[in-house]
Amino acid sequence: MNFKEKILRLKQKKDAIILAHYYQNGDIQDIADYVGDSYYLSEIGRNCTEKNIIFCGVRFMAESAKILSPNKKVFLPNLNASCYMVSMANAKDIEELKIKYPNAKVVCYINSATEVKAVSDVCCTSSSAINIVKKLDSSEIIFVPDKNLGSYIQEQIPDKKIILWDGCCVIHDMINAQDIIEAKNKYGQDIKVLSHPECKKEVRDLSDFIGSTGDILKFASHNNLKKYLIVTEDGILHKLKQKNPDKEFYTLNMICKNMKLTTLKDLYLCLENLENEITLDENIRKSAYRALENMHILGR
């Protein structure tokens, strides 16, 4: 029996659901019960009835599932899978900024530590950020940790003041306007540029569409255009190609090494032994719960 067959058998036996982010390796995406962007997966984890959630993604995703569902067990098949951006914000510095801006509400990107969520008013994902900041009853917002997503929100909602934090995703932040210009010269000026909001302004300004991984997939799938430059992590190509075999997709070789760590063997061992469980300090979890639950209330 190969890993795939073993995983499918164990999943039933252990009352487990497998969630995978679009950046995961193709074989992991193919075996998962649900594949999606951060918001979609958070919603599935929150609403599912299975006792065990196996989260194929990075640690903040699994921690967020545990924050929302303390009575379920949440597992991260490869415990080394982290997100570079998470270490760029800490609770202490946010508390200091709150003193400086006493009227501001704190919105934290879900790509953050549980301790950061615990001192925030509401969380957001890339697909829900605009909606949430618009609905939030405050005209002043401290946005952590992604300065690029924060500046994108500021552009979309100019009547609110967004106080930015100095964090970013190093993989998205590395891409410059020149990379887009060169790709258009190489693949043709008619290529449509679809970018993630974690990209810099100079890249967003040259894009035809800006959205989360899920929104990029929807845009390319519901469009008759033939050729796309995808400016986000390469893992999204797997689903883009599966859903659109007749279209052409090009990327800028953006690889999040952490997202690629999880293997079928890790997933099998995790299920077989119910190992690599996520545990959180209960007081911090409770404080963080409010921000994540608010995300699901405002993000709808």
- The binding site for ligand SF4 (CB under 6 A) comprises 58, 83-85, 111, 169, 171, 198, 233, 256, 258-259
Q: CA 262, 266, 272, 276 torsion: positive or negative? A: negative
Q: How far is the CB of 184 from ligand SF4 (least distance, A)?
A: 23
Nearer to ligand SF4, 111 or 127 (CB): 111
Q: Which does 37 bind (CB under 5 to 8 A by kind): ligand SF4, ligand 13P, none?
A: ligand 13P
Alpha carbon 21 to its chain's center: 8
Residue 19 within binding range of ligand 13P, rule CB under 6 A: no
Nearer to ligand 13P, 109 or 268 (CB): 109
Q: How far is the CB of 183 from ligand SF4 (least distance, A)?
A: 19
Nearer to ligand SF4, 256 or 267 (CB): 256
Q: Distance between CA atoms of 134 and 206, rounded to whole angstroms? A: 25
Looking at this protein, which amino acid is placed at residue 101? Y
Nearer to ligand 13P, 81 or 104 (CB): 81
Which residue is listed with tokens 């993989």? 171
Q: From residue 59, give the alpha-carbon distance in Å to each of 44, 97, 222, 286.
A: 17, 26, 32, 18
Subset of 100-129 contacting ligand 13P (CB under 6 A): 111, 125-127
Q: In the beta sheet, which residues pair with residue 35?
A: 20
The dihedrals phi and psi of 130, each to the nearest 5 degrees, come to: -65, -50
HSE at residue 99, side-chain half, CA atoms within 13 A, is 5
Q: Residue 25 corresponds to which tokens in the numbers above? A: 């390796």
Subset of 161-180 contacting ligand 13P (CB under 6 A): 169
Q: Is the peptide bond before 145 cis (omega within 30 degrees of 0)?
A: yes
Residue window 180-219: x/- pattern of binding to ligand 13P, with contact defined by CB under 6 A: ----------------x-x-------------xx------
Q: Distance between CA atoms of 121 and 234, rounded to whole angstroms? A: 32
Q: In the beta sheet, which residues pair with residue 108?
A: 123, 144
Which H or E element spans position 213? helix 213-221
Nearer to ligand SF4, 58 or 94 (CB): 58
Looking at this protein, which amino acid is placed at residue 172? H
Q: Which does 125 bind (CB under 5 to 8 A by kind): ligand SF4, ligand 13P, none?
A: ligand 13P
Selected binder of ligand 13P within 17, 19, 20, 37 (CB under 6 A): 37
Task: Name the strands in the sheet holding 192-195, side by side, starting at the edge strand that comes first in the sequence.
Answer: 209-210, 192-195, 227-231, 248-251
Nearer to ligand SF4, 104 or 149 (CB): 149
Nearer to ligand SF4, 7 or 256 (CB): 256
Nearer to ligand 13P, 48 or 168 (CB): 168
Q: Which does 126 bind (CB under 5 to 8 A by kind): ligand 13P, ligand SF4, none?
A: ligand 13P
Q: How far is the CB of 164 from ligand 13P (least distance, A)?
A: 18
Q: How far is the CB of 232 from ligand SF4 (least distance, A)?
A: 8
Q: How far is the CB of 233 from ligand 13P (least distance, A)?
A: 6
Helical axes 3-13 vs 264-273, angle rounded to 10°: 30
The site for ligand 13P (CB under 6 A) is made up of 37-38, 111, 125-127, 169, 196, 198, 212-213
